[in-house]
Amino acid sequence: MMTGQAIIWVGGAYALAALVAYAGYRAKSLSASGAIAACLVGGTIFGIGGLDWAVLLLAFFASSSLLSFFKAADTRKIEATETFDKGGRRDAAQVLANGGVAAALAAFSGLAGGGPPYFYLFAGYVGALAAATSDTWATELGVLSRTRPRMITTGKSVDAGTSGAVTIIGIAAAVGGAIFIGLVAATLLLFYGNEVSLIEGAAALVTVALAGGIGGSVLDSLLGATVQSSYLCPHCEKATESRIHRCGTPARLTGGVAAINNDVVNFMATLSGALIAVLAYSVLGNPF
């Protein structure tokens, strides 16, 4: 049973998460449903996981939101965005696809207490957020490439925004996103004094983030190229990820599985990022 102090802490965490979600809604980074989902995800992570976990979530959300506005008027970005399932505002499904695994790990951390179980969960958390960050950075910056992207499975040149396509800029952005989350996590070690070896712990966190981030990002591209649903609007004759094209015309399924959309792929990528990060943490010998 939660104590009165714990109830106040969790309540305050959800209140703060609501304020951040509202700010995201006003900034047009989140839809109304996305703001509600972000409040639930953020409140769970902050209220149960604690400040360290919340800082990493904010790092992902802030960086991803800023990149969504970066060169938003660029023709390449506008044309690629027209292919995507949804617009720039993240809805509840997108928020849960990117943050659901992280929130679940934070919730379990409250049951784990301290010791090895907690650190395994934190490693998985870092990996899940690194995967989400890698994928988001790769998408937002990869579409700005001056060279046409190529399918990760066949190497065939395709239009920007095609699921499963990669560019050199996108790959570099994916690596950068994973390193970014790792460095933020490593910075948090400064608050623990001599409880951990800063150099060893920091190197381990960056390694764990890289493993989870790159692993999740690669899986995201592979699933996007093979099983993610893709459609064609018969009216506009344009490719889209949505069953209903932006013009309002029902689109025709041209590839993949109808039930596997981009949100499902993102969820699977973050889950794999968490699992790969836990494996990397085990191989490193529980360094933090």
Q: What is the predicted pLDDT for the residue at 78?
A: 55
* Domain total of the chain: 1
Span 197-235, pLDDT tens digits: 777 888 999 999 999 999 999 999 999 999 999 888 888
**Domain span at residue 223?**
4-284
Q: Is the pTM of this model over 0.85?
A: yes
The two three-digit tokens of residue 28, written as one number: 């047009």
Which two structure tokens, joined as six digits, stand for 176? 């950068």
97-144 pLDDT, tens digit each: 999 999 999 999 988 877 788 999 999 999 999 999 999 999 888 888
Neighbours of 125 (CB within 10 A): 31
The rounded mean pLDDT for the chain is: 87
* pLDDT per residue as tens digits for the range 245-286: 777 788 888 889 999 999 999 999 999 999 999 999 999 887
- Residue 166 vs residues 108, 173, 207, 216, 224: alpha-carbon distances, Å: 35, 11, 23, 14, 11
Query: CA-based angle 143:146:152, to the nearest 5?
Result: 60
